[in-house]
Structure 1
Amino acid sequence: MSDILHISIQSFSYRNGYPEDVLKNGGGYVFDCRGILNPYHFGNLRFLTGKDKEIENFFLLKTKMPKFLNLIKDIISISINEYLNRSYPYLQINFGCTGGQHRSVFSAEQITKFCKEKYPQTKVTLLHTNQNNWLIKN
């Protein structure tokens, strides 16, 4: 057992399949963000990412993303608290959407902030697995 819990958070595109379970321990959580309204279909928002302020405003004001994330925080907190109590070394939390650019990225960013703030005794890493394929207007 490890002395520290490592929480790996990833965003991904369902088009490219599920993220790899590198530790072969079952992979942890996979949350499907496709039930949230997609900013891709709203003009120039398609050329932004879940890291941009305009996308954050879209999600907070026009979608059920806040409720979605609050439910996820409740769910993952159960596991994180237990993993800490049992000295488990690793938890993976994945967020998928169609393109891996908006919904899953925003969700992963927000849950990363949450984990770092609520569980400072853990090591949290974030990876956007589809970043090389993002549609960005030059």
Structure 2
Amino acid sequence: MSEPLTCIGCGKHPDEIDEYIECAAEEGMSPVQYVIEEEGTYDKFEPERFYCTRCYIEAGMPLIGGEHMEVREISVSMLYTKSLPNYENLKLEAGVTIALAPGDSIEEAYEKAWKLARGQVRAQIPARGASPV
């Protein structure tokens, strides 16, 4: 039988997962208390267990009740702000949407999208006289 209060995917306890440690500190509670009170996957798939964000994505983001959400596309947007003289700002922005085929890795798609967005922002920088991101 699986250990209670551990992630279904990685088997880690809330005290070992940075996202719960940080969120719990902000809320003034323990990571365990945070998971029990705030984690939407807690006790929904297996008794007294949850999915951390990474494992939830890797599991295909299952919906409560046994269905799975099909992710068809992901989007990212990057905004670079450079302070200029006279209290002005230069803002460069790039957004990318990537369509996913069945079986595509969501994490790899995000990595590719962020790389493309960053490349687009970097391409705009020299023409606008700002330093690289």
TM-score range, shorter chain: under 0.3
Q: TM-score, normalised by structure 1?
A: 0.22
Q: Greater share of helix residues, 1 or 2?
A: 1
Larger Rg: 2
> Larger RCO: Structure 1 or Structure 2 (Cα < 8 Å, ≥ 6 residues apart)?
1
Q: TM-score, normalised by structure 2?
A: 0.23
